[in-house]
Amino acid sequence: MSSARAQQSSRPRTAAPVLTMPARKRVALVAAEAALDRASDAAVRAWDAGTCWRERVRGSVAAILALAEAHPDAARGTLAALDHPALGRRRAELEARLLRAIRQGAEDPDAVDAQPQSAPWVLHTALAVLRARLAAEPAPELTDLTETLTALVCLPSLSPATVLATLARPAAPGPA
């Protein structure tokens, strides 16, 4: 055996590094940031593929739910991480983008007595529904919430008849 090899084999092996709690939190926050980026990208692609506000909302909701359904643990961790102070700025940016998107319903040609001031309520209610559904074990299907959450987002701007007519149409195929 060569002397270099003998020295290597005589060295004690060190165990894999143990992550301290702060390091674990940092790793979880980085993972949450990456998951937020994936969800945001999927929602934006779906939004861009829609031809009107209602279809854009529906496509974005469907894209986010499909991603959360495919990766429920990542979705749970991301929703939990959103409450962490380190993600406060990111959460505020995301909320502002989502609120702008929800408020665009007031500009829909079919808007009736639009109430864009209800956008924060709509956003937080939709997130609460998603959190509650993700709390179940095993993780349930989430895509079946697409119509419900689409209606939740659209109702403050559109008449119930318009929302129901939108939901009765087949959903546009998602972006590839």
pLDDT digits (tens, 9 = 90+) for 15-55: 555 555 577 778 888 888 888 888 889 989 999 998 888 88
What pLDDT does residue 116 have? Answer: 72
Secondary structure (3-state) at 73? helix
Res. 175: pLDDT tops 50: no
- In tens, the pLDDT along 59-83 reads 999 999 999 999 998 899 888 888 8
Mean per-residue pLDDT of the chain: 80
Whether residue 1 is predicted with pLDDT greater than 70 in this model: the reply is no
Question: What residues contact 131, with CB distance under 8 A and at least 6 apart?
Answer: 79
pTM value is 0.76
> Which domains, ranges and CATH numbers included, belong to the chain?
21-168 (1.10.357.10)
In Å, what is the CA distance from 61 to each residue of 12, 43, 57?
A: 53, 7, 6
What is the mean predicted confidence (pLDDT) over 2-23?
Answer: 57
Between CA 168 and CA 159 the distance in angstroms is 14
Is the CB of residue 40 less than 8 Å from the CB of residue 67?
Answer: no
